[in-house]
Amino acid sequence: MKKSTSWGKVAGWYNELLEEGEDTYQEKVIKPNLLRVLSPKPGEEILDAGCGQGYFSRILGSFGVKVVGLDAGVELVKIAKQMAGKNETYLVGNAEKMSQLANARFDAVICVLALQNMKNLQAALGEMARVLKPGGRAVFVLNHPVFRIPTASSWGFDESKKTQYRRIDSYMSEITQAVDMTQGIKDPSRKKFTYSFHHPLQVYFKAFYKHNLAVTRLEEWNSHKVSDKGPRKAAEDRARKETPLFMCLELKKN
């Protein structure tokens, strides 16, 4: 069976999650930090690779940026086009082969929580580097590859120390993990999956080097959420502050 990494099959659910949720990580954590790091300027042309339904593309477009959003999910791009502002263009395509986009076209490329879902990391990075202008920037936001590893990381609680900790069972091994997007549905025929790919940091950094992308900034972002009152509240809140959810990388094309 061919492994699909597209989120198009859960487009409606994902769009409702982002557009109707005021307390999402995308809204409270990623959006303000991404804008701070990227500092978009009117007239710039930016590629949003793995744009989904255009959530971040529309935000950039509101700053006067000319945005091209690209995603493999036909259903997601359809939603993006329906909600598009005047500064956005959306294309159906695979970030691993963006033949419809010219060399050295973009001032910047963003890839928010999508690089980890691209099967061929080398091809995707090579294409993003190709379409960047010399001196252009790429900004990647990932689920933190040290602390959020599919099937190999979890929360634990030490009763003797009253401490919540992050358990890491595997890190150096690369992992391909099916992600059940319909966990509330028990009927196997109605199940929908996408795939996520874990890579240790050295795999990312070696790939950046190969494609002439120099890391100029690394930030780690933690959760904005707090626990309800209870015996573990203090430990849980402390663990959130000490264990980042996301890693942001800014790179420059040499």
Give me the CATH number covering residue 89.
Answer: 3.40.50.150
Q: What is the pLDDT of residues 75-123, one digit of tens each?
A: 999 999 999 999 999 999 999 999 999 999 999 999 999 999 999 999 9
- Expressed as residue numbers, the domain containing 92 is 8-144+199-227+245-253
- Token pair for 140: 């990647």
132 inside domain: yes
118 inside domain: yes
d(CA 238, CA 226): 9
Quick one: pLDDT band at residue 13, thresholds 50, 70, 90? Answer: very low
The answer to pTM > 0.95 is: no
Q: What is the pLDDT of residues 174-229, one digit of tens each?
A: 999 988 767 677 787 777 778 899 999 999 999 999 999 999 999 999 999 999 99
43 inside domain: yes
Instruction: Please report where in the chains the tokens 């990580």 appear, as a residue.
Output: 25
Q: State the Cα angle at 186 between 176 and 181, rounded to 5°.
A: 40
Q: What is the pLDDT of residues 48-60, one digit of tens each?
A: 999 999 999 999 9
pLDDT number for residue 189: 76
51 inside domain: yes
218 inside domain: yes
What values do phi and psi take at 73, rounded to 5? -85, 110
Domains held by the chain: number: 1
Strand stretches in the chain, DSSP E: 45-49, 66-71, 88-92, 106-112, 132-143, 153-158, 163-168, 175-180, 193-198, 213-221, 246-253
164 inside domain: no
170 inside domain: no
38 inside domain: yes
